[in-house]
Amino acid sequence: MAADILSPLIGNTEHHITNSQTFVERIKDLKLEPDESIVSFDVSALFTSITVNEAITVVRELLESDDTWKKETAENLDVDSVIQLLAFCLNTTYFVFRGKFYQQKDGCAMGSPCNPSVANAYMEFFETKALSLAPHPPRLFLRYVTYSLRIHQSHQQAGIRTFKSPGGDGQLSFPDTLIVRVSDGNVKIKIFRKSTNTKILKYLSFESPHPLEHKLSVVKTLIHRSEIVMDPSDKEEEVSHIKSALRSCGYRDWTCS
């Protein structure tokens, strides 16, 4: 219920990224100055790092500032009632270990349906506060769940050296994408794959007993993802990679075309 109530209230900031396609749309016309760099951050252990009481305060302020959420519930609930139910969900985090019952006291528990929305609301609160207090706000700041990307000038780099991922070779990974900086300052997007990935990566085998529509959905998903690749030659290379990987899993030419 909390997830449904909060859903229309989060993801509305200029920094929010819904998926890789919206990310590409935001940066496709980006041009970097010679003294600018792209940096990415990743929040470590987001759920368990959030203070429950502070998260509840953030949600309360969000509910009080916008009553759109009332359209998402058939119950006649007020803010106090929603907060009471949310506090119950966030604080009744019991588990059994070696026959004994324990309660998780710090952070939000993993697996609760309401926690992703609560965590997202908290991240929006945190980023808004951090950006408003920054002495040198970044020219661009984007966030997808726990992953953040910013553009900053090189002279600001020293202060973030200890926790940044700068992509010193002119490339930087962001969820599902690889940002490549070209010589004229423009950027292009490719599909990101870990170094452990190979052409013989095993997708769902065509010889498996799964329904045909499941196998075709694998093909459609990979081809659909390739649409985010910006450069035509890169896209051709990506499609060739997909066909090769699928053929190694037993897919026939008509499924790969």
pLDDT in tens, 157-167: 554 543 344 45
Res. 170 pLDDT band, cuts 50 70 90:
confident
Whole-number Å distance between alpha carbons of 17 and 148: 9
Structural domain boundaries of the chain?
2-191, 212-256
Which residue(s) pair with 140 in the sheet? 151
Smallest CA-to-CA distance from 150 within 172, 126, 183, 182 is with 172
User: b/e map of 161-177 (b: 16 or more CB within 10 Å)?
Assistant: eeeeeebeeeebbbbbb
Whole-number Å distance between alpha carbons of 207 and 31: 46
36 compared with 110, residue with greater pLDDT: 36
3-class secondary-structure state, position 198 = coil
Average pLDDT over residues 218-247: 92
pLDDT of residue 165: 47
Mean pLDDT of the chain: 85
102 compared with 75, residue with greater pLDDT: 102
Whole-number Å distance between alpha carbons of 142 and 126: 13
Give burial (CB, 10 Å; 0-12/13-18/19+) of 64: exposed
Q: What percentage of the chain reaches a pLDDT higher than 90?
A: 38
11 close to 18: Cβ distance less than 8 angstroms:
yes
Neighbours of 114 (CB within 10 A): 19
pTM: 0.80
